[in-house]
A and B are shown apart, each in its own frame.
Chain A
Amino acid sequence: MMSRPLQEGVSRYLVDRARWHPLEIAFWVVALASVFLLSGKHLILTEIVVLALFALSLDLILGYSGIISLGHAAYFGFAGYVAGRLAKHNIITEPVLALIVSGLAAALLGFVTSFLVLRGSDLTRLMVTLGVSLVLREIANQIDWLTGGADGLQGIVMAPVLGLFPFDLAGHVAYVYSLCVLFIMVLLARRIVNSPFGLSLRSVKDNPVRASALGIPVNGRLVAMYTVAAGYAGIAGALLTQTTQFVSLDVLSLERSADVLLALVIGGTGYLYGGIIGAILFKLMQDYLANLTPQYWQFWIGLVLVIIVLVGRERLTNWTTPVRAFLARLGPRAAHPVETAPASTIDER
């Protein structure tokens, strides 16, 4: 005999996990407003959006699947070049279609390389992911007839978005375009992480042995998520090429992989918006530091990284805890102590 309150409680709990939080809605309202109110800043805002999507893609494998990657730029850059060539040779002129194709290309590359990250420890994964991105960079360097080599791919001209909205010099169309792409990709990501598939990845990250003992094909799920994340990174990279009409070797560099890792870490992993928040903070920080010391801003970024680690990443994301606690009080768990409170009920341990 099932108790009605229990059934409603559980059902609502599960559904609420996927519900839109007020802060999320507020965020997108602000984002929409920025189209009209911050029109002077659209160029840097587009950069932020691209980085945000890139960081989101890294969150999928790092925050949700527990895979450390130092070479995620491989998929970012690969799609960037694909998008560049698609446009340059008028193979696919419509940007949205080209974006999708580039993303799929990156996903395919992700699928093919995913088997390399399944084996071995954290260190092995670091090595392999770094190695793959460096190999790709070296290939891009060598086949300069295709990639433009160190000079990069120049002369990319973008056709109007959906045939209706031509890219303008001030970057307005580019910004709205990028924002729409980010929004759609976030919608998709929300579905994925709140689905049984997403839950199974979280369990794999948490305890792969037990996940396997529950019937979860751990490797298969990791391959699938890695492929999706590569596709996301690819869309971000293609977006960069399309909005800047340029792509060069640095999209495949170690610095690119390290920057996105830093951006994600600043924002916090595992709750989808960490990449976006981190991208905003990172770009703002980078902009401020670059104005301060044009040549040596990398020093300060490095210092920030060192300090973050020394202080402790958990303490960093603790500023989100009161917010999350507040939101939790709005849900069915209002009758229960908030999970992040100290475990005061434990007297048996």
Chain B
Amino acid sequence: MLTILFDGIAYGMLLFVLACGLAVTLGLMNFVNLAHGSFAMAGGYISLVLVNRHGVPFFAALPLAFVVTALIGALFERTLYVHVYAKSHLDQVLFTIGLVFMSVAAVDYVMGSQQQYIQLPAMLQGQVNLLGLNVGKYRLLIIVICGLLTIALQLTLARTRFGSRLRASVDDPRVASGLGIHVNGVFAVTFAVGSGLAGLGGALGAEILGLDPTFPLKFMIYFLIVVTVGGTSSITGPFLASLLLGIGDVAGKYYVPKFGAFVIYTIMIVVLIWRPQGLFARATAR
């Protein structure tokens, strides 16, 4: 049972790193970016190519995946996304779905459609005995890295100037702008970092989630669920939501294999009916 909890936590934290960029983007600019999963996929394939074909050490490939994906995110944001901010939600949905289609087909063309795996270094394979429990080394790594990232994110938000500018902009963009905060600039940086984190999550998660060109489509719903259940006004909301969903999904698939996949969907629908603004969002009206 503890193994399930452990696996669930690993899965949940991975989901968080993948989805937090989407949560902040949505909360900040009210922009529905369904193509968020494409950035995750990009990170996964980038590290795949680096490790498998160029012999780059796994631990070096991770930050590289982050940086390259962040740059791609910044590029897309400045050239494409910026034209769509003011448009209706329907337009944003159509636009980002279009990007998803393009990315799926492009990756299929370049990398092939079968699922691929990153060659993990030997030290990450197998299990280790932690406090009397046999845990997978890779999952342990995920928990450690994601945990550190979460702490770093929380510290950035709470302690740095950029963090307070970001929080102000999320809270009320017009007032923040009136205070002299360059909201668009904040958003550009946040979008890039969020995409980079998605890329890092994709690289980390390739082993557990499976990496193939349909990744953005398969996991789109998961990211959206994290954001919906967790709300968009804080980091802790999506964090707790991710854990809840991660543990729920792993436990569900273990204990009731036939219906395990429904656990996540059911949680989402129930939450949406009960509290449309998310479980953890503050009740402040927008």
Which of A's residues lie within 8 Å of B, judged by CB? 62, 68, 70, 115-116, 119-124, 126-128, 130-132, 134-135, 138-139, 142, 254-255, 258, 261-262, 265, 295-299, 301-306, 308-310, 313
* A contact residues around B92 at 8 Å (CB): 309
Determine whether the beta carbon of A68 is less than 8 Å from that of B265: no
Determine whether the beta carbon of B276 is less than 8 Å from that of A124: yes
- The complex places the Cα of A293 from the Cα of B91 at a distance, in Å, of 27
Q: Among B93, B103, B105, B273, point to the contact of A116 (Cβ < 8 A).
A: B273
Determine whether the beta carbon of B221 is less than 8 Å from that of A302: no
Interface of B, secondary structure class, is helix
Which of B's residues lie within 8 Å of A, judged by CB? 26, 32, 80, 83-84, 87, 89-95, 97-106, 108-109, 217, 220-221, 224-225, 228, 258-259, 261-262, 265-266, 268-269, 272-273, 276-277
Closest chain-A Cβ to B270's Cβ sits at a distance in Å of 10
Determine whether the beta carbon of B262 is less than 8 Å from that of A138: yes
Determine whether the beta carbon of B32 is less than 8 Å from that of A126: yes
The verdict on A123 contacting B26 (CB below 8 Å), with A130-B221, A313-B91 known, is yes
Determine whether the beta carbon of A305 is less than 8 Å from that of B98: yes
Q: Among B90, B98, B265, point to the contact of A135 (Cβ < 8 A).
A: B265
- The complex places the Cα of A11 from the Cα of B94 at a distance, in Å, of 40
B113 to chain A: closest residue by CB:
A295
- The complex places the Cα of A142 from the Cα of B261 at a distance, in Å, of 10
The verdict on A299 contacting B84 (CB below 8 Å), with A120-B272, A128-B269 known, is no
Q: Among A121, A134, A254, A309, point to the contact of B91 (Cβ < 8 A).
A: A309
* B contact residues around A262 at 8 Å (CB): 94, 97
Determine whether the beta carbon of A68 is less than 8 Å from that of B90: yes
* A contact residues around B273 at 8 Å (CB): 115-116, 119
* B contact residues around A127 at 8 Å (CB): 224-225, 228, 268, 272
* B contact residues around A142 at 8 Å (CB): 258-259, 261
- The complex places the Cα of A306 from the Cα of B97 at a distance, in Å, of 8
Determine whether the beta carbon of A119 is less than 8 Å from that of B98: no
A305 to chain B: closest residue by CB:
B98
- The complex places the Cα of A265 from the Cα of B29 at a distance, in Å, of 24
* B contact residues around A261 at 8 Å (CB): 93-94, 97
Determine whether the beta carbon of B32 is less than 8 Å from that of A299: no
B217 to chain A: closest residue by CB:
A254
Determine whether the beta carbon of A265 is less than 8 Å from that of B94: yes
The verdict on A255 contacting B105 (CB below 8 Å), with A119-B273, A142-B259, A304-B98 known, is no
- The complex places the Cα of A142 from the Cα of B221 at a distance, in Å, of 18
- The complex places the Cα of A68 from the Cα of B32 at a distance, in Å, of 13
